Amino acid sequence: MPTSRLHSVILDKVMEEASHTKSFSFREEFPVRPGQFIMVWIPGVEEVPMALSQLGPVKAITAKNVGSSTEALHKFKEGDRIGVRGPYGNSFDLSQEHYLVAAGGTGIASVIAASEALAEAGKKVVTVFGAKTKEDLILLERSRKYGEVFIATDDGSVGYHGVVSDLALKLMEDRRFDGVLACGPEKMLQTLEGICRQRDVEIQVSMERFMRCGIGLCGSCSLDHYLVCRDGPIFKGEQLVGLRDFGHYRRDRAGRRVPM
């Protein structure tokens, strides 16, 4: 069960994943399922939602330096303390046998725990992973432990020259998958949802929205009539069909609905 109690944890390791991306590991015993998230309190700054990129006795979060909160987090060192609260939200349904895992950028951090769980259960995982350039690829070697990995880069510096959704479509034309797990930019997720609907393949996406509370009270993470923290962060394709916000609008810090 989720808890609203804040746990103070010591950072075991701070690992450089790419020039602007780091993973932070800590030891804390609480049950968590692939796809769930925690609220991370960065002392002196604020609390932010983050997916767990590693489960088990040693857990980890992976964050790209993209704003004031993550910039502050990136200054933390091994031995420093952060606060964690949760876990919250639902998790991936991993009941099928053969999955395509599609990740854009740091979205890999939200799906890699699912890949690990599938591989440990003897199920087949194929990952298609996209980034702007090869220097932005993270958690790549770990992903390769769980199955085949195909890479797409915007600049063509490695792998397929193009976007994740195009490469995923090529793979789906050649192979049959029972399901797709995805996380990344929302336009990418919107395209993948359309591809899966046309091919009658179930897709589950991990949605990202601005969150303040993580427990369904503040409404800042609204997605049409859904609250991502309460009803997600994992949504099946059938839930996304017909939504006005999906792929088009988000909420800013003031709660205003703004175009993506």
Q: So what's the pLDDT on residue 2?
A: 45
Query: Hey, how many other C-beta atoms are within 10 angstroms of the C-beta on 34?
Result: 23
Query: Hey, how many other C-beta atoms are within 10 angstroms of the C-beta on 255?
Result: 12
Q: So what's the pLDDT on residue 106?
A: 94
Half-sphere exposure of 107 toward its Cβ, with a 13 Å CA cutoff? 28
Strands (E), 1-137: 7-18, 21-27, 37-41, 47-54, 58-64, 81-88, 98-104, 124-131
Q: So what's the pLDDT on residue 35?
A: 97
pLDDT tens profile 101-118: 999 999 999 999 999 999
Is residue 28 exposed (0-12), middle (13-18) or buried (19+ Cβ within 10 Å)? Answer: middle
Residue with tokens 């390769």: 144
Residue 39: beta bridge partners? Answer: 49, 85
**3-state SS assignment for residue 40:** strand
Residue 177 pLDDT grade (very low, low, confident, very high; cuts 50, 70, 90): very high
Domains of the chain are 7-88 (2.40.30.10), 92-206 (3.40.50.80), 208-260 (2.10.240)
Q: Return the closest-CA partner of residue 222 out of 231, 107, 260, 88.
A: 231
pLDDT tens profile 87-106: 999 999 999 999 999 999 99
pLDDT tens profile 119-167: 999 999 999 999 999 999 999 999 999 999 999 999 999 999 999 999 9
Q: What is the mean pLDDT of residues 27-53?
A: 95
Is residue 193's pLDDT more than 70? yes
Q: What is the mean pLDDT of residues 52-67?
A: 95
pLDDT tens profile 10-34: 999 999 999 899 999 999 999 999 9
Residue 253 pLDDT grade (very low, low, confident, very high; cuts 50, 70, 90): confident
Q: Return the closest-CA partner of residue 180 out of 98, 62, 119, 109.
A: 98
> What gap in Å lies between CA 120 and CA 122, rounded to an integer?
5
Q: So what's the pLDDT on residue 245?
A: 95
Across the chain, mean pLDDT equals 95
pTM over 0.85, yes/no: yes
Query: Hey, how many other C-beta atoms are within 10 angstroms of the C-beta on 236?
Result: 15
Half-sphere exposure of 184 toward its Cβ, with a 13 Å CA cutoff? 24
